[in-house]
Amino acid sequence: MVVIAVDGPSGSGKSSVSKGVARRLGLAYLDTGAMYRAATLWAMDAVGDLADAERVAAAVRGMPLEMGLDPDAPAVRLDGRDVSAAIRTTEVSTEVSKVATNLDVRAELRRRQREIIDVAAQAAGIVAEGRDITTVVAPDADARVLLTASEEARLRRRSLEVHGAADAAAVEATRDQVVRRDRDDATVSQFQVAADGVVTVDSSDLDLEETIEAVLAVVAQVTAAR
């Protein structure tokens, strides 16, 4: 039974690397960022005005969310409907910071995240990734990793993911999503500098497999020392 927490900025590879680590170790996988995206989609439909913090928080507290924990198929369901694709649209990406910086929403989703992690920890274990996982949600995780990369590398990766290209125009079109969201989220969450006991892995010059191996090495080292 092991809990691995992976934190880091947008485009650092948290999701791909965390899923890879979970597969290799036979663990569950939790994408907490997807929970904020789901909350955004839910609030857009239920409230409309995301600036109405109280109504948004109330809507999220009643949100019927189910998180799939299979790293090969981490489906996200709202009220029984698969919204895995819907939460990745540009519309949601543009609005998610408005919900993610709502402190009452963060409190509710952190509560749900801790519940999921606690249940999974009683089985084989879990890899949980997203903002403030290493410091607030799972500060007692067996292994805590801050996965980072240069801004150039992060923009290139997110551009390839969203636009299928990494030329100058595609990178510039992606800049607002990556840089602005990190700036906004940094007002309510610490994910750019490793806290005490958190190991930094810089993936700027690593491919996916090399980054997975680097995180696995951290997990092996930390768990062996316990």
CB 128 within 8 A of CB 7: no
Pick out the residues of the known binding site for ATP: 8-16
Please, which pLDDT band fits residue 186 given cuts at 50, 70 and 90? low
3-state secondary structure of 76: strand
Q: Which residue has the higher pLDDT, 93 or 217?
A: 217
The yes/no answer on whether domain 2-224 falls in CATH 3.40.50.300 is: yes
Residue 29 is predicted with a pLDDT of 97
**How does the average pLDDT of the chain come out, rounded?**
87
pLDDT (tens digit, 9 = 90+) per residue, 89-126? 889 988 998 999 999 999 999 999 999 999 999 888 99
Identify the pLDDT of residue 163: 63
Annotated binding site: 8-16
Q: What is the mean pLDDT of residues 130-150?
A: 91
Does residue 193 carry a pLDDT above 60?
yes
What span, in angstroms and rounded, lies between the C-alpha atoms of 120 and 89?
Answer: 29
Contact 219, 2 (CB under 8 A): yes
